[in-house]
Structure 1
Amino acid sequence: MNSFASLHPLNLFVYFAAVIGFSMLFMHPVLQSIAFLAAFICSIIAKGRRGLRFNLIGLLPLLLFMAALNPLFNHQGVTLLFYLESGNPVTLESILYGLSTAVMFVTVILWFSCYNQVMTSDKFIYLFGRILPAFSLLLSMALRFVPRYMAKIREISFAQKGIGRDVTQGSWIRRMKRGMKILSIMTTWALENAIETADSMKSRGYGLPGRTSFAIFRFDRRDWRVLLVLTILIALVLMGALLGENSIRFFPSIRTPDRSLLSYIVYAAYFALCSLPVVMTIQEGIHWKRID
């Protein structure tokens, strides 16, 4: 996703704010299908085999589990399918609502995984460093520390395993104590690292009025064109939301708005919005092939 990631941070932030917000708000099956497929493909493009393995092994079982869990507790709906052994009914509406909720949850996770790959901490600080210096620094540190925490936990686990304190061996009490030891070491490292980072930024005068900073980001003609396209597509999707084209009712019975020309325009705009990184990546690949 080099072509998409090279866009100005403002365009990247607007894009991810739009797709993540729309994925959480719209539960229409057509819009959800578009967002899920686009986020799934984007995560694979951004992470490669690691992203495909995470999507299939991690998120797909989570989606199925959440979809199957909702009918066990939600018994609303008029289309009765069967009764559980406890006597509670299972309805078609509760199953579809659980599936829709699970797809929404997984789609948001996929978009955030793409966000972490593209929207780096320096881009976030560039956008909000002058407006909200403390908040932007805290959020960028939190996002940056997530992969660092995982790598550090593996490092500590291997070190403990080398001295005979493997968490996979011994009784469950011994394994629990060793796991708590790793967690304690990890917490100490995280706190020390956060203090060092805060002191380093303070010594550099971060957040002080009048402080200048170097930035390599420039808003060029391509960024203006992309921002114009994003604005038009987001406006069309919001217009569909205001006119009720993006809504769906699950209870007591499933009901969606009647499809019209506006519906297909909204679907096309949402598809173009969600697939923008994929389109730009394909265009970049075609461009480099022509050069070769």
Structure 2
Amino acid sequence: INFFYFVVVLLFSMCFNHPALLIISLVGAVVYTLVLLGVRSSIKFNLVGMLPMLFLVALINPLFNHGGVTILGYWPTGNTMTLESIVDGAVMAIMFIEVIVWFACCNTIMTSDKFICLFERVIPALSLILSMVLCFVPKFKAQMHIITQVQRCIGRDIGSVNVWQRARNAINILSIMVTWALENAIDTADSMKARGYGLKGRTSFSIFRFDSRDRLVGGIMLALFIIVSAGIFGGLAYASYNPIIKYSAFTPLSISCYALYLVFCLMPVIVDLAEAIKWKKMKESATNIRNEEQPWQYSTSKI
């Protein structure tokens, strides 16, 4: 269910540039990061990391793309600055940012054990590579910290005054890291081969089960996907920004399609919110039952 969800939202975010779909996808991605990362981390990620990149990408396109019929002025180089190029740059920037944010959410949810569970029988080698890639970045950062501390203890700190010595120490640390990464990959591959990974008939343990809740959420997602896809391919999400700005009009039918797409993007948030409400009610119910069953405690300290 998670894999299907992220494949759909990423494909829609990368392939369709209608303003309504762009805004819905961006809002869904930002709201999901709030749920996954928390308010502080999400604000830091979206505002500090993504917002400057958004303005940078939006500015680059009008500098090099001068197509369009609505001339707003001229750059110092003499090239025209058009409204269409500015809008096109903003659209490209939003698409770029929302894909990065969705991938950040996907990286948080789709862990290595989920990839192995999905693809170990179909493409075992690729599923192992994907799981190793997902685990590589945090392990690489932790090992980099350890090696840097060890090199600092023997006088090979990268913060030395001499620039030449600093470069040599940095290259030495990088060499150690590359060697460790290659050895770790070989050890992992040999270990999985010794366990019979990928052999025909091999069984494997998995904590994931496809139960009634998965069927319910999966059926809702599939229905939303079919309806939204029919509306999009029916011409409700057409948009073009060069040489003139044209996009499909907002009609009751198109607004309904966009609303269903918003529901699809917010499905994980809705599920998490429903689970949080259910869990809160269960805790309150358990607390009330415990208070009712607790016997009266009489204090004898004043007797």
TM-score greater than 0.5 by the shorter chain? yes
Map 1:46-65 → 2, pairs under 5 A: 46-48=36-38, 49-65=40-56
- 199-208 vs 75-84, which moves further: 75-84
Structure 1 residue 103 displacement after superposition = 1.2
- 173-182 vs 229-238, which moves further: 173-182
Residues 288 and 195 from structure 1, CA distance in 2 versus in 1: closer, same or farther, beyond 3 angstroms? same
Whole-angstrom distance in 2 between the partners of 1:154 and 1:101: 37
> SS in structure 1 opposite 2:23?
helix
Which fold has the larger relative contact order, with Cα–Cα distance below 8 Å and residues 6 or more apart in sequence?
A: 1
Structure 1 residue 222 displacement after superposition = 0.9
Structure 1 residue 99 displacement after superposition = 1.4
Whole-angstrom distance in 1 between the partners of 2:115 and 2:273: 26
Matched, 1:203 2:194: yes
Whole-angstrom distance in 2 between the partners of 1:254 and 1:171: 56
1:77 corresponding residue in structure 2: 68
Amino acid across the alignment from 2:10: I
1:16 corresponding residue in structure 2: 6
Match of 2:273 among 263, 282, 285: 282
- 257-266 vs 19-28, which moves further: 257-266
Residues 95 and 163 from structure 1, CA distance in 2 versus in 1: closer, same or farther, beyond 3 angstroms? farther
- 68-77 vs 178-187, which moves further: 178-187
Map 1:25-174 → 2, pairs under 5 A: 25-48=15-38, 49-174=40-165
Whole-angstrom distance in 2 between the partners of 1:157 and 1:91: 51
> SS in structure 1 opposite 2:247?
coil
Structure 1 residue 50 displacement after superposition = 3.1
Equivalent pairs, count: 282
Amino acid across the alignment from 1:47: L
Amino acid across the alignment from 2:57: M
Residues 184 and 15 from structure 1, CA distance in 2 versus in 1: closer, same or farther, beyond 3 angstroms? same
- 187-196 vs 279-288, which moves further: 279-288
Matched, 1:265 2:256: yes
> SS in structure 2 opposite 1:244?
helix
1:177 corresponding residue in structure 2: 168
Structure 1 residue 260 displacement after superposition = 1.8
1:7 corresponding residue in structure 2: none
> SS in structure 2 opposite 1:81?
strand
Whole-angstrom distance in 2 between the partners of 1:156 and 1:96: 47
Structure 1 residue 162 displacement after superposition = 4.1
Amino acid across the alignment from 2:138: P
Structure 1 residue 169 displacement after superposition = 4.2
Residues 147 and 85 from structure 1, CA distance in 2 versus in 1: closer, same or farther, beyond 3 angstroms? same
> SS in structure 2 opposite 1:219?
coil
After superposition, the C-alpha distances for 1:14-39 in whole angstroms (9 at most, x for unaligned) are: 10110111110111111111111111
Question: Which runs of 5 or more structure 1 residues have no equivalent in the other structure?
Answer: 1-10
Residues 239 and 57 from structure 1, CA distance in 2 versus in 1: closer, same or farther, beyond 3 angstroms? same
Identity of aligned residues (%): 48
Structure ID, larger Rg? 2
After superposition, the C-alpha distances for 1:214-247 in whole angstroms (9 at most, x for unaligned) are: 2221111111111111111111221122112122
Structure 1 residue 108 displacement after superposition = 1.1
Residues 166 and 254 from structure 1, CA distance in 2 versus in 1: closer, same or farther, beyond 3 angstroms? farther
Q: What is the aligned-residue RMSD (CA, Å)?
A: 1.6
Whole-angstrom distance in 2 between the partners of 1:70 and 1:174: 41
> SS in structure 1 opposite 2:73?
strand
Which TM-score applies when normalising by structure 2?
A: 0.88
- 152-161 vs 69-78, which moves further: 152-161
- 145-154 vs 64-73, which moves further: 145-154
Structure 1 residue 63 displacement after superposition = 1.3
Structure 1 residue 171 displacement after superposition = 4.5
Structure 1 residue 13 displacement after superposition = 0.7
Which TM-score applies when normalising by structure 1?
A: 0.91
Residues 137 and 96 from structure 1, CA distance in 2 versus in 1: closer, same or farther, beyond 3 angstroms? same
Whole-angstrom distance in 2 between the partners of 1:169 and 1:61: 32
